[in-house]
Structure 1
Amino acid sequence: MDNAYAVFFVLGANTKGSDSGTFLSFFKNIIVPAGIIYALVLLGNFALAKSYKKATGKKFRSVLADADKCFVFGISYAVFAVVITLVMLRAWKYPAILYEVRKTPAHSDFYDKHYVDPASTRIAFPEKKRNLVVIFMESVESSFASIEEGGLFRENLIPGITSLAKANVNFSQNEKLGGGENLAGTSWTAAGIISKFSGLPYFAPFAKTEDGSLSCLRGAVTLTDILSENGYRCRFAFGSDKQFENRDIFLENHGVEIHDIHWYKAQGLIPMNYQVFWGFEDQKLFPLVRRELDELGKGSAPFFFGMLTVDTHFPDGYKCPLCPEIDKRQVMNVVRCADKQVSDLIGWMEGQSWWDNTTVVIMGDHNFLTAPHNNFIADESPVHGANARRRWLDLIVNSVLTPPQFVQKNRRFAPYDMFPTMLESIGCTIEGRALGFGRSLYSGEKTLVETYGAEKINAELMKRTEQYEALKKRR
């Protein structure tokens, strides 16, 4: 059902700056097969017409002119067309989602009991405030590791990240490298960022302001609100268009300065006519990130810096000159390349003067998007039922806290839990160790997913509530 939520909400948001390759993949794998089937149905109709002509002696034209036969052929064609479209797009789910989004908000006892409002929660920072860098790796899963290391592949596609995880903090669903699980309203980029920063799901989070513009969860206190209010410079870098999926509205509403492809072009750092994949590739993004961090690190204020990579995006990733030629599938080579570039960035950061006072959180924004016609994980993994074992990556480097293994491993957690966890990783003390629907993983206390299971959480949060609607409005 969550894939249906992703399609429904993404198509309803701003799609400016999207990659044409994604839509070409949709055309190739959905529209073309449907067209072929439609053509076969039409040929079948003509075959029936010819058989009718032989049996009755009527001319072919007279068959086509026969109102009854044309009606039957037309109805059969239409029925096949509708059925094929419904099956391929799972379109029957969208009216139910639309109904849920637009129905009268109801009061939620689950919100009353489990939503911890950051606005009324005491959060104390250490005397020396610590920098926070958050790296969202597009579609990157801990599943990309080898089976031996806790993943799903014969060979480890992310050896650099695996080494970092062993030396730092990695919360996992198993005893080895692992991560968190997607829930409804968290499994695409904008939803992944919103849920991890606010402890809330993406469920029609936008509202119109008095001047007619859109706002996003203005009444909710988020990670970047808390950091900004405590003197942090907050910045986020995209190698793509910040407006895609209205990501800019959420971040800018919550105290973040955004540098995207258009900003870098305006600064003369990217050629004005340059465009590949979703904007510009990670090979160009990482040097710009070093430049950004160097500037922030020289300032007197603590900083938050976020970034989103893009090369590992569905359907096959973007192959740059740095990508190795090891695997037959391009996307696997792109994953290896992404692992190397992120590991190199961490290595560079370790040599900077501000490193000792900086924590880095590396996360997949969500699981890699797959479909029956394009599921390289299921195709390449020797693990039976691989899809059910997939987790998005989480890794905290240079954390203030180092929890024991029994706190880190054999856990179930959602994107919401990263909100308080990230604050505790930089030395913050949180009353109750919970924010939003998130529970700090450092605490060792049960998360909501561990308590109720994913199905219950999805059922409670994927409906229109009075509390969520109130969080869409400025306090």
Structure 2
Amino acid sequence: MQMILIFLFSLPVLLAHNYNLDQSATTTISALISVSLLIYCVSALLINLKRGSIRNILGLATLSALAIYFYAQFLSYYLQGSYFNQQFFFHSNFTTLIETWSVYYPLIILFLGWTTCICLVFLYFRNRVSGSEYSNELLVLLLVSALVLDPGIRDAVKVKTSLMTSPSIESLEQIDWEQLGLDRNALENFDIATGVGKNLVLVFLEGLETVYMEESIFPGLTPNLNALNAQGWQLNNLNQIEGTGWTMGGIVATLCGTPLVYESSLGGNSIMFTRFLDKATCLPDILRQADYQQVFMGGASLEFAGKGDFLKLHSFDQVLGKAELRRELPDSSYLGGWGLFDDSLFALALQQYQRMAAAEKPFNLTLLTVDTHHPGGEPSSSCSPYAEIDNSILHAVHCTDYLIGNFIEQLKQHPAYEDTVVVMVSDHLALRNNAFSLFPKGYERRLYFNVLNSDQLASSQVLATPMDLAPTILEMLDITHDASFLVGIDLLNAEGQHSERNMDDPRRENIIRYLNSNHLSTAENEVHYSLNRANWGEIDFVNNIENVEFTQNGVKFNVDGHDPYFILPELPNFQQKDFRLYITIDVEQASAMALYYLTDEDKAYSESNKLTRETETGSNQLVFSLNRRAGQGRLRIDPGSNPGQYFIRSLEIRS
């Protein structure tokens, strides 16, 4: 039994280290010795137990738990080429499983079949083998040795020890902001003054890095991007650092000027579904202050990795993903495993660009491609394959190159292009994919960044990270603003700054974790009011609101008349702190939500004491900044004047 179990458990370990980007014979041998010792000791200890249902249950539970660990380890190496890390746990949730089922279901079926074999082996042999000749004490000692030999566990312990031994931060005053290259003003972006600039088209290219554009490595793979490089402004030394190595990490870092790192106490696999970084001032937040229209379009589901929640929280008027865009397709069945193909995305994006340009307001159209998603890519059917090498990732890169080249050529035909800056950027370096073996050993991998239609000409060799992109893009848009970013700097005006920044300083990273988690995110004790069952009775539905139905943390109602509104209960004195009201609301027709407040000078719900936010059909995430405007009193909320059902999914007042 033990030899069969060792063989079965060794399979995912061998496969995992085959996909390890830092392949080492020593590491592989250590891992195999570790799993062999571990399974031998566990199975021997189980056999030494008294026969019966308790041993059966304990044996099946233990072997199943070990199966989950070793298979998860294999998945981590298969998907990203490394052991468990923040990136892996970030995606480890039920939503990810549902959204990626069509792509990865064979791996799940394989796991179920493999685990079933392990359990059947145990059930068949459990009463057919004699007990171990070694004492239980020796077996436990060998088991501990097995854990020590596991390379992944050793590295994880080192990282955890480093975090635990880092000096605790008790005050912002003990942070050496200048030496660490951090901007304390980013914690105090309450009132942002802005001026209008150029339009923005921002395209995140899934895992598309500079190596694909090297003609000496992949001749003719990206002719369109190479041609656009000759027309634009590039960063030739754009580096990926901790917290930026996956899609949401890259998006957060690029838009918000801080990496997606956080304290482990906040959780991990559901972090973007919480209030994480809700206090950070990001690129779209600044553009909103300048009255920009803002639309995000991506082919994948908005539920994946909390992307939709995060983008709605940060001022996008519309956030459109697979479910929303699929309805616009001529053939709604034309979908890949990750969602819309890139040819569909760019076709719909062109239509969106034309609509936004016609509105005669400045706009931000942000896109996220998906065809080049690892490990194999899924090129659109409208593309020709890459002729030089038969490789699915390279076919997908070649296809996306063609599609973005065609998209930008069409943008250039529109009159609004003269006042539009186009930014193309990697969301992250390519994760482990089937083209990795073609990458030259020792090649210095860099993120791609190219800006079209800016006033900048010469490309820059300045040391840069994704956190520097938001302030740099704002400068290229000619936006005047007084916002600050925690980590990012404007690379166009960074003389003398970049050389002082130590990107890999662990002390710096730990401080960023602390600031992201405790100063740029809302803690539970900063929520001063939340709509839930406990305070339903305190809300007065005063006028033209019918069929009120409370849910766990929200409320549904119908509006059928003029001037509907409701009044919240007595709340804290808003003049003592900076408060914001966060509302997530679904509406059937586009309208506007109004918030009325009272002041010491004006005790009426007057037009002078009113804040308004536009709402679009569907889900809306709105933020009202009270900023010491309101005195102590009750807030009045007018959800919208159009008839229909309204659903407030959440309502919170935070400081």
* Aligned residues: CA RMSD: 4.2
How many angstroms apart in 2 are the aligned matches of 1:90 and 1:241?
36
Provide closer, same or farther for how the CA distance between residues 393 and 467 of structure 1 changes in structure 2, counting only shifts above 3 A: closer
Report how many residues are paired: 421
**Which of 293, 298, 305 is the aligned partner of 1:245?**
305
Match of 1:390 in 2: 445
How many angstroms apart in 2 are the aligned matches of 1:81 and 1:270?
57
1:84-233 equivalences in 2 (<5 Å)? 86-87=150-151, 92=156, 96=160, 106-107=170-171, 109-110=174-175, 112-113=177-178, 114-115=182-183, 117=185, 119=189, 124-125=194-195, 129-146=197-214, 153-173=217-237, 180-204=238-262, 214-233=274-293
Match of 1:367 in 2: 429
Provide closer, same or farther for how the CA distance between residues 402 and 282 of structure 1 changes in structure 2, counting only shifts above 3 A: same
**Which of 273, 286, 294 is the aligned partner of 1:234?**
294
Provide closer, same or farther for how the CA distance between residues 357 and 15 of structure 1 changes in structure 2, counting only shifts above 3 A: same
1:238·1:307 contact (CA, 8 Å) conserved in 2? yes
**Alpha-carbon displacement from aligned partner over 1:121-171 (angstroms, at most 9, x marks no partner):** 976535xx31111100101101211165xxxx2425222112111111111
How many angstroms apart in 2 are the aligned matches of 1:305 and 1:216?
24
Match of 2:338 in 1: 278
1:304-343 equivalences in 2 (<5 Å)? 304-321=364-381, 322-326=383-387, 327-343=389-405
Provide closer, same or farther for how the CA distance between residues 17 and 191 of structure 1 changes in structure 2, counting only shifts above 3 A: farther
**Which of 348, 351, 358 is the aligned partner of 1:291?**
351
- CA shift, 1:13, in A, is 8.7
TM-score normalised over the length of structure 2: 0.56
Deviates more, 1:62-71 or 1:297-306: 62-71
Matched residues, percent identical? 21
- CA shift, 1:235, in A, is 0.8
Matched, 1:356 2:418: yes
Match of 1:411 in 2: 462
- CA shift, 1:467, in A, is 6.3
Q: Letter of the aligned partner of 1:443 in structure 2?
A: N
Deviates more, 1:350-359 or 1:8-17: 8-17
Match of 2:325 in 1: 264
**Higher relative helix content:** 1
How many angstroms apart in 2 are the aligned matches of 1:81 and 1:275?
46
Deviates more, 1:10-19 or 1:60-69: 60-69
1:264·1:270 contact (CA, 8 Å) conserved in 2? no
Matched, 1:10 2:91: yes
Provide closer, same or farther for how the CA distance between residues 268 and 412 of structure 1 changes in structure 2, counting only shifts above 3 A: closer
How many angstroms apart in 2 are the aligned matches of 1:193 and 1:295?
25
How many angstroms apart in 2 are the aligned matches of 1:444 and 1:451?
11
Aligned with 1:363: secondary structure?
Answer: strand
Matched, 1:470 2:527: no
Matched, 1:402 2:469: no
Match of 2:495 in 1: 445
- CA shift, 1:63, in A, is 8.0
**Alpha-carbon displacement from aligned partner over 1:66-108 (angstroms, at most 9, x marks no partner):** 4437979998997899689x547988359829976xx976445
- CA shift, 1:26, in A, is 6.5
Q: Letter of the aligned partner of 1:412 in structure 2?
A: L
Aligned with 1:419: secondary structure?
Answer: helix
Match of 2:570 in 1: none
How many angstroms apart in 2 are the aligned matches of 1:61 and 1:107?
58
1:13·1:245 contact (CA, 8 Å) conserved in 2? no
Q: Letter of the aligned partner of 1:225 in structure 2?
A: D
Q: Letter of the aligned partner of 1:395 in structure 2?
A: N
How many angstroms apart in 1 are the aligned matches of 2:431 and 2:106?
12
Greater relative contact order (CA < 8 Å, ≥ 6 in sequence): 1
Q: Letter of the aligned partner of 2:254 in structure 1?
A: K
Q: Letter of the aligned partner of 2:229 in structure 1?
A: A
**Alpha-carbon displacement from aligned partner over 1:213-247 (angstroms, at most 9, x marks no partner):** 73232211111011111111111011111121111
Aligned with 2:204: secondary structure?
Answer: strand
1:145·1:158 contact (CA, 8 Å) conserved in 2? yes
1:146·1:154 contact (CA, 8 Å) conserved in 2? yes
Match of 1:51 in 2: none
2:346·2:403 contact (CA, 8 Å) conserved in 1? yes
Aligned with 2:208: secondary structure?
Answer: coil
Aligned with 2:129: secondary structure?
Answer: helix
How many angstroms apart in 2 are the aligned matches of 1:90 and 1:19?
30
2:391·2:434 contact (CA, 8 Å) conserved in 1? no
Q: Letter of the aligned partner of 1:164 in structure 2?
A: L
Q: Letter of the aligned partner of 1:144 in structure 2?
A: Y
Matched, 1:68 2:133: yes
Match of 1:460 in 2: 508
Provide closer, same or farther for how the CA distance between residues 300 and 201 of structure 1 changes in structure 2, counting only shifts above 3 A: same
Provide closer, same or farther for how the CA distance between residues 105 and 182 of structure 1 changes in structure 2, counting only shifts above 3 A: same
Aligned with 1:455: secondary structure?
Answer: coil
Match of 2:582 in 1: none
Where does the alignment leave 5 or more consecutive residues of structure 1 unmatched?
43-59, 174-179
Provide closer, same or farther for how the CA distance between residues 330 and 95 of structure 1 changes in structure 2, counting only shifts above 3 A: same
- CA shift, 1:437, in A, is 1.1
- CA shift, 1:462, in A, is 3.9
- CA shift, 1:281, in A, is 1.3
How many angstroms apart in 2 are the aligned matches of 1:27 and 1:91?
27
How many angstroms apart in 1 are the aligned matches of 2:411 and 2:205?
17
- CA shift, 1:312, in A, is 0.5
TM-score normalised over the length of structure 1: 0.76
How many angstroms apart in 1 are the aligned matches of 2:201 and 2:161?
35
- CA shift, 1:197, in A, is 0.6
Q: Letter of the aligned partner of 1:286 in structure 2?
A: F
How many angstroms apart in 1 are the aligned matches of 2:495 and 2:103?
40
